[in-house]
Each structure stands twice: as C-alpha cells, then as structure tokens.
Amino acid sequence: MSVVSTPAVLLRSFNYSETSRVLRLYTKDLGLVSVMAKGVRRSSARGHGALDTFSRGELTAYVRPTRDLQTFKEFAVEEAGGSLGRDVLRFAGASVLAEIVLLHAAPDPSPQVFERLTNALRRIDTEPLAGIVGAVLAEGWMLVATLGYEPHIDRCVHCGKTLDATEVLRFDFSAGGVRCSGCGSDHSGPRVGPGARQQLATLLRGTVPEVLGKPRAHLRLLHDFVTYHISGSKPLKTFKIFGSVAGLDE
Ligand SMILES: [Zn+2]
C-alpha cells in the first residue's frame, strides 16, 4: 500500500454507513477511483466538510492497486463545487459530463481527460444561464473526443467521399460518423441536415453556434452516441434530467 496525492475532482458520493461515505473521483494520476472516507459524515456535520460534488483539489489516499475501493486520507479542496450545486441547471449539466466519465471506466489514467473535464466544469459554473445548454453540448462532444470517440463528419463513413455542404446525411452510430446522401438513403440513423452538421462541427470545436437550432435533437444525438460507444447501450439518466430541467422535454 502506498500513499498517493493527485489532483482530483469529486464526481459522485454516497453514504455508506452512519459515519462514512464512498467517493468517486476522477484523478489526474490514477484515473477514476473510488475511496472509502471513514468518519467524514460526522466531521461534515461539524462544519468541516468540503466534500461537495464537483469540488476540485488534491486527493490523498492509501492506494492498493489490486483493490477497487481505496482508503481516503484527505481531500484538500482548491475550488469548491458548491456554486454548481446551487443552480439546478448547471448541476444537471455538470452531471451529464460526470456520467460520461463514470461510465467510460477506462483502465488507464488520462491527464487529458482530467484537464478536459475540469475545464468543462469551470465553464458550466461561469457561463451565463442562457448559454448552459450550448456549453454542455460543446463540452460533451469535446469530452467524447478526448475519450477517443470523435465522430467523423467530414467524409462519408461508408464510401469515404468528401461531403457536400448541402447534402442531407444520416448519422451511422456503429461507424461513428455520417453517411453521404447516397449511402444514407436506406439507413435508419438520424437525419443530419446541412445546418445541423455545421452546428455539430462548431460544437466539436468547443464553440456554441450563435443560434443553436434544435437543442433537443443535439442532446439526443450526443446521448445516443455516448450510449452506443461509451456506456455499453445503457441509457444515461443525467441526460433525461438535464433535458427536463432545461425545458427540452418532448
Ligand atoms: Zn457514402
């Protein structure tokens, strides 16, 4: 067993007993870790707790590589997650990104994913409320790309042809990108018109289009893509909650 300190962000926690909590964090040096924090419920009751979801700081834990659950020593918070928790839309949006990372479950740590995720949470914390849906979509696609699943939207994933800017395409989840109008005519994937494709390209660069058309369709596309490539076809609860809080329900 060794004592390890690493930058970390708290993504989820749940009570384990009267006094303890299990924390799930994404860390820069260890990737996704679960730690058992004994006695923290008692200490947070005394006002020392800074274990708010989305807090960023330095985690110190006793780590045994063969174990799934490590032992918590300390979490020195540098940026409290409390402000995200005070707004339901921001919290729901941040939860979407957290769930993508939690479900990805990659065995190897990725400092790039850590950077991407913590920058995304900062952006969702500070973005004006009217821009939260766009920010979550942009950060969601960039996170997916950083995890290694960037969708291909410049060429047809089936025949390889360069796509015409005016073409109506079909999204092919299993191939991880779009099909041209010819290859897409008998494909059942969602239709991607010229406007939607341009908006998706903008979101993939991390920018929000000035007028974000059909945000509900964009959210569904991101959800279905994540479901296909990352979550092992398990639907993501946070997308539904976020869509509902953002007023994007059917
Ligand atoms: Zn084609």
Q: Quick check: 53 and 10 in contact, CB under 8 A? A: yes
Ligand 1 center to residue 160 CA distance, Å?
Answer: 6
The C-alpha atoms of residue 72 and residue 27 are separated, in whole angstroms, by 13
Does 195 score more than 80 pLDDT? yes
Both 21 and 38 in one domain: the answer is: yes
Ligand 1 center to residue 169 CA distance, Å?
Answer: 9
Ligand 1 center to residue 230 CA distance, Å?
Answer: 25
Ligand 1 center to residue 133 CA distance, Å?
Answer: 31
Residue 75, domain extent: 1-80
Both 71 and 101 in one domain: the answer is: no
User: What pTM does this model have?
Assistant: 0.93
Picking from 58, 80, 102, the residue at the C-terminal end of a domain is: 80
Ligand 1 center to residue 183 CA distance, Å?
Answer: 4
CATH number at 146 reads 1.20.1440.120
Encode pLDDT of 179-189 as tens digits: 999 999 889 99
State the DSSP H helix or E strand holding residue 194, giving kind and residue range, or none if neither: helix 194-204
- Which residues neighbour 106 within 8 Å (Cβ) at sequence distance 6 or greater? 31, 32, 113, 147
Instruction: Return the higher-pLDDT residue of 242 and 249.
Output: 242
CATH number at 40 reads 2.40.50.140
Ligand 1 center to residue 143 CA distance, Å?
Answer: 27
Ligand 1 center to residue 176 CA distance, Å?
Answer: 14
Both 67 and 91 in one domain: the answer is: no
- Which residues neighbour 205 within 8 Å (Cβ) at sequence distance 6 or greater? 138
Picking from 43, 65, 80, the residue at the C-terminal end of a domain is: 80
Both 88 and 179 in one domain: the answer is: yes
Encode pLDDT of 7-64 as tens digits: 999 999 999 988 899 999 999 999 999 999 988 876 654 444 568 899 999 999 999 9
Residue 231 has a pLDDT of 85
Both 163 and 190 in one domain: the answer is: yes
Ligand 1 center to residue 185 CA distance, Å?
Answer: 10
Residues forming beta bridges with residue 199, ordered by sequence position: none
Q: How many domains does the chain have?
A: 2
- For residue 225, which of 102, 104, 94 has the smallest C-alpha distance? 104
Both 88 and 67 in one domain: the answer is: no
Residue 42 has a pLDDT of 66
Does 105 score more than 50 pLDDT? yes
Max CA-CA distance within the chain?
65
Calculate the average pLDDT of the chain: 92
Q: Percent helix, strand and coil across the chain, each rounded to 5?
A: 40, 25, 35
Picking from 53, 80, 107, the residue at the C-terminal end of a domain is: 80
**Where are the extended beta strands (E) located within the chain?**
2-15, 21-27, 31-37, 56-63, 69-79, 169-172, 177-179, 191-192
Encode pLDDT of 18-29 as tens digits: 889 999 999 999
Ligand 1 center to residue 228 CA distance, Å?
Answer: 21
Ligand 1 center to residue 146 CA distance, Å?
Answer: 26
Helix orientation angle between 194-204 and 215-229, rounded to the nearest 10 degrees: 60
Residue 18 has a pLDDT of 87
Ligand 1 center to residue 219 CA distance, Å?
Answer: 25
The C-alpha atoms of residue 122 and residue 114 are separated, in whole angstroms, by 12
Both 4 and 72 in one domain: the answer is: yes
Residue 50 has a pLDDT of 64
